[in-house]
Chain A
Amino acid sequence: MRIQQLNLLRYGRFTDQLLSFPHARRDFHFVIGGNEAGKSTTRSAILDLLYSIDPRTTFDFLHAKTEMRLGGTIEHQGAALEFVRVKARKSLLNPAGTVLADSALATFLAGVDRSFFDQMFGLDHARLETGGKAILSASNDIGQILFQSAAGIGSLGTVRDQLEVEADKLWAHRRSGDRAYYIASDELARADAALKAATVRTKAWMEARDKVQELEERRERLRNSYLGFEAERIRFERVRRVASALRILRDRQAELQQLGEVVLLPPDAAQQLAEIELVLAGAERDQQLYAGQAQQVRERLEVIRPDRSLLKHEADILALTERRQQVRNHERDIDRRQLEITMHWQRVETLLSQLGWPAAAEDKLSHELPALPARSVLAGLVKRFGVLDQACRTAVAAVTERTADMQTLDVQLKGLAVSTVPATLRTALTSARGLGDLKAATRRDEALVSKKSRELATAVAALGPLPPDLVTLRGLMLPSEQDIRLRQKRHTDAQTTRKALADKHIDSDASISALELEITQYRNAHHPVSLTELAEVRAERDAIWYTIKSGEQPARELATAFEAKLSTADRVADRRHDKAREVSELQSKLDALERLKQQAAENKRRQTENEAECASIDTDWAQLTAAIGMAGLPLHEFEPWRAAREKALLAEDALIDTQRTLSAAQQTAQAAAAALSTALTGAGIVFENGAAFETQMLIASDAVDAATEAKARLDEINKQRELAAAALARQSEKAETAQAEFDAWSSAWRSATANCGLPATTDVAAADGSLNVIAEIDEKLRSIRDIRKARIETMQHDLNDFEHKVAALVSAAAPDLSEQNASAAITELSARLTKALDEKKESNRLRDELKEHEGQAKSANDRVAKARATVLPLLQLAQVSSHDDLRSRIALSDRRRLIEAAATAAQKAVEEGGDGLALEALEAEMAAIDIAQMSALMADVVRQLESVRQEQEALASELTTAHTQLDRIAGQDDAARAESERQDALAKMANAADRYIKVYTASRLLKWAIDRYREDKQGPMLTRAGEIFSAVTLGSFQKLTVDFESEPPALYGLRAGGGAVGIAGMSDGTHDLLYLALRLAALELHLGQGHALPFIADDLFIKYDNRRAKAGLEALASLSEKTQVIFLSHHDHLVPTVQAVFGRDVNIVTL
Chain B
Amino acid sequence: MIVPEMSRFIHAADIHLDSPLCGLESYQNAPVEALRTATRDAFRNLINEAIEEQVDFLVIAGDLYDGNWKDYNTGHFFVREMGRLNKAAIPVYLLYGNHDAESEMTRRLTFPPNVHVFDARKPVTHRIDALRVALHGRSFKDAATIENLAVDYPDPVPGWLNIGVLHTALEGYVAHPRYAPCSLSELAAKGYDYWALGHVHEHAVLQQAPWVVFPGNLQGRNIRETGPRGAVLVTTDESSIVSVDRLIVDVMHWERVNVDVSAAHNLPAVVSLAGRALDALLVSKTDAKPMSVRVTITGRTPAHGELFGMDAQLREEILAQAAALGGQRLWIEKVKVETTPSVDASQIKKRADAIADLQALLEQVPADESFMRSLAEDLQQLTGKAPLELTEAVSDFKVIRSGDVGSIVQSVIPALIARLAQVH
Q: Restricting to B323-374, which residues have a CB under 8 Å from any CB of A? A: 334, 343, 347, 350-355, 357-358, 361-362, 364-365, 368, 371
B77 at the interface (CB under 8 A from A): yes
Q: Contacts A116-B353, A173-B381, A201-B72 given: A990-B390 contact, CB under 8 Å?
A: yes
Chain B neighbourhood of A979, CB < 8 A:
18-20
Chain B neighbourhood of A294, CB < 8 A:
none
Q: Restricting to B395-424, which residues have a CB under 8 Å from any CB of A? A: 396-397, 400, 405, 408-409, 411-413, 415-416, 419-421, 423-424
A747 at the interface (CB under 8 A from B): no
Q: Please, which residue of chain A has its CB at the minimum distance from the CB of B356? A: A1090
Q: Is the CB of A973 within 8 A of B108?
A: no
Q: Is the CB of A1005 within 8 A of B73?
A: no
Residue-wise interface mask of B (370-385) relative to A, using a CB-CB cutoff of 8 A (1 in contact, 0 not) = 0100010011011000
In the complex, identify which listed stretch (A146-154, A402-410, A618-626, A786-794) lies at the interface while the others stay far away.
Answer: A146-154
Chain B neighbourhood of A112, CB < 8 A:
350-351
Chain A neighbourhood of B368, CB < 8 A:
1008
The docked-state distance in angstroms from the alpha carbon of A983 to that of B38 is 13
The docked-state distance in angstroms from the alpha carbon of A199 to that of B68 is 12
Nearest Cβ distance between residue A1119 and chain B, in whole angstroms? 16
Classify the secondary structure of B's interface with A.
helix
Chain A neighbourhood of B18, CB < 8 A:
973, 975-976, 979
The docked-state distance in angstroms from the alpha carbon of A484 to that of B192 is 64
Q: Is the CB of A973 within 8 A of B387?
A: no
Chain A neighbourhood of B375, CB < 8 A:
1001, 1004
Residue-wise interface mask of A (1078-1111) relative to B, using a CB-CB cutoff of 8 A (1 in contact, 0 not) = 0000100010011100000000000000000000
In the complex, identify which listed stretch (A11-19, A341-349, A661-669, A1011-1019) lies at the interface while the others stay far away.
Answer: A1011-1019
B393 at the interface (CB under 8 A from A): yes
A728 at the interface (CB under 8 A from B): no
The docked-state distance in angstroms from the alpha carbon of A997 to that of B376 is 10
The docked-state distance in angstroms from the alpha carbon of A204 to that of B104 is 12
Q: Restricting to A670-703, which residues have a CB under 8 Å from any CB of B? A: none
Nearest Cβ distance between residue A1077 and chain B, in whole angstroms? 16
Q: Is the CB of B361 within 8 A of A1082?
A: no
Interface residue tally of chain A, by bracket?
35 or more
Chain A neighbourhood of B72, CB < 8 A:
200-202, 204-205, 969
Residue-wise interface mask of A (967-990) relative to B, using a CB-CB cutoff of 8 A (1 in contact, 0 not) = 001111111110111111011111
Instruction: Choose among A201, A990, A1004 the residue that contacts B393 (Cβ–Cβ < 8 A).
Output: A990
The docked-state distance in angstroms from the alpha carbon of A200 to that of B76 is 11
Q: Is the CB of B353 within 8 A of A989?
A: no
Q: Is the CB of A1005 within 8 A of B365?
A: yes
B289 at the interface (CB under 8 A from A): no
Max chain B CB contacts within 10 Å: which of A162, A203, A998?
A: A998
Q: Please, which residue of chain B has its CB at the minimum distance from the CB of A203? A: B104
Instruction: Choose among B70, B79, B353 the residue that contacts A1086 (Cβ–Cβ < 8 A).
Output: B353
The docked-state distance in angstroms from the alpha carbon of A307 to that of B171 is 151
Residue-wise interface mask of A (993-1037) relative to B, using a CB-CB cutoff of 8 A (1 in contact, 0 not) = 111111111101110111011001100000000000000000000
Q: Contacts A979-B18, A1005-B412, A1008-B365 given: A993-B71 contact, CB under 8 Å?
A: no
Chain B neighbourhood of A1004, CB < 8 A:
371, 375, 378
B105 at the interface (CB under 8 A from A): yes
The docked-state distance in angstroms from the alpha carbon of A910 to that of B79 is 60
Instruction: Choose among B22, B209, B351, B416 the residue that contacts A585 (Cβ–Cβ < 8 A).
Output: B209
The docked-state distance in angstroms from the alpha carbon of A205 to that of B411 is 52
Nearest Cβ distance between residue B31 and chain A, in whole angstroms? 12
Q: Contacts A987-B23, A1013-B361 given: A980-B37 contact, CB under 8 Å?
A: yes
Q: Is the CB of B73 within 8 A of A970?
A: yes
Q: Is the CB of B420 within 8 A of A202?
A: no
B116 at the interface (CB under 8 A from A): no
Chain A neighbourhood of B309, CB < 8 A:
159, 162-163
The docked-state distance in angstroms from the alpha carbon of A991 to that of B335 is 10
Q: Contacts A120-B353, A156-B423, A970-B73 given: A983-B37 contact, CB under 8 Å?
A: no
A166 at the interface (CB under 8 A from B): yes
Instruction: Choose among B357, B381, B393, B408 the residue that contacts A987 (Cβ–Cβ < 8 A).
Output: B393
Residue-wise interface mask of B (72-85) relative to A, using a CB-CB cutoff of 8 A (1 in contact, 0 not) = 11111101100000
Q: Is the CB of A200 within 8 A of B24?
A: no
Q: Is the CB of A1005 within 8 A of B419?
A: no
Nearest Cβ distance between residue B390 and chain A, in whole angstroms? 6
Q: Please, which residue of chain A has its CB at the minimum distance from the CB of B375? A: A1004
Q: Is the CB of B362 within 8 A of A206?
A: no
B36 at the interface (CB under 8 A from A): yes
B304 at the interface (CB under 8 A from A): no
Classify the secondary structure of A's interface with B.
helix
Q: Is the CB of B355 within 8 A of A151?
A: yes
Max chain A CB contacts within 10 Å: which of B21, B312, B358?
A: B358
Q: Is the CB of B420 within 8 A of A976?
A: no
A188 at the interface (CB under 8 A from B): yes
The docked-state distance in angstroms from the alpha carbon of A1077 to that of B76 is 80
Q: Is the CB of B73 within 8 A of A1013?
A: no
Q: Please, which residue of chain B has its CB at the minimum distance from the CB of A184? A: B25
Chain A neighbourhood of B405, CB < 8 A:
1001
Chain A neighbourhood of B347, CB < 8 A:
111
Q: Is the CB of B361 within 8 A of A1012?
A: yes
A659 at the interface (CB under 8 A from B): no
Nearest Cβ distance between residue B42 and chain A, in whole angstroms? 12
Q: Please, which residue of chain B has its CB at the minimum distance from the CB of A208? A: B72
The docked-state distance in angstroms from the alpha carbon of A993 to that of B26 is 16
Q: Restricting to A122-158, which residues have a CB under 8 Å from any CB of B? A: 147-148, 150-153, 155-156, 158
Nearest Cβ distance between residue B89 and chain A, in whole angstroms? 22
B394 at the interface (CB under 8 A from A): yes
Chain B neighbourhood of A998, CB < 8 A:
308, 311, 408, 411-412, 415
Nearest Cβ distance between residue A28 and chain B, in whole angstroms? 23
Q: Contacts A987-B25, A989-B386, A1013-B357 given: A1000-B379 contact, CB under 8 Å?
A: yes
The docked-state distance in angstroms from the alpha carbon of A148 to that of B421 is 11
Nearest Cβ distance between residue B75 and chain A, in whole angstroms? 7
Q: Contacts A151-B353, A159-B420, A993-B386 given: A977-B36 contact, CB under 8 Å?
A: yes
Q: Contacts A970-B76, A1091-B352 given: A976-B365 contact, CB under 8 Å?
A: no
Chain A neighbourhood of B424, CB < 8 A:
115, 119, 153, 155
Chain B neighbourhood of A111, CB < 8 A:
347, 350-351
Q: Contacts A205-B72, A976-B40, A977-B37 given: A147-B379 contact, CB under 8 Å?
A: no
Nearest Cβ distance between residue B316 and chain A, in whole angstroms? 13
Q: Is the CB of B423 within 8 A of A993?
A: no
Q: Please, which residue of chain A has its CB at the minimum distance from the CB of B78? A: A971
Chain B neighbourhood of A970, CB < 8 A:
73, 76
Q: Please, which residue of chain A has its CB at the minimum distance from the CB of B17? A: A976
The docked-state distance in angstroms from the alpha carbon of A991 to that of B319 is 15
Q: Contacts A984-B24, A986-B390 given: A199-B409 contact, CB under 8 Å?
A: no
Max chain A CB contacts within 10 Å: which of B71, B353, B405?
A: B71
B389 at the interface (CB under 8 A from A): yes
Instruction: Choose among B108, B358, B409 the residue that contacts A206 (Cβ–Cβ < 8 A).
Output: B108
Max chain A CB contacts within 10 Å: which of B25, B32, B73, B354?
A: B354
Nearest Cβ distance between residue A909 and chain B, in whole angstroms? 58
Q: Is the CB of B396 within 8 A of A989?
A: no
Q: Is the CB of A150 within 8 A of B386?
A: no
Chain B neighbourhood of A981, CB < 8 A:
36
Can you name 22 A-B residue pairings with CB atoms under 8 Å?
A: A158-B423, A162-B309, A173-B381, A181-B382, A200-B72, A971-B76, A979-B20, A980-B20, A983-B22, A986-B390, A989-B386, A990-B393, A994-B394, A1002-B308, A1002-B412, A1008-B371, A1009-B365, A1012-B361, A1013-B358, A1016-B361, A1086-B352, A1086-B353
Q: Known A-B contacts: A205-B72, A984-B26. Give 4 more (CB < 8 A).
A: A205-B108, A979-B20, A988-B25, A999-B311
Chain B residues packing against A (C-beta within 8 Å): 18-26, 32, 35-37, 39-40, 70-77, 79-80, 104-105, 108, 209, 308-309, 311-312, 334, 343, 347, 350-355, 357-358, 361-362, 364-365, 368, 371, 375, 378-379, 381-382, 386-387, 389-390, 393-394, 396-397, 400, 405, 408-409, 411-413, 415-416, 419-421, 423-424
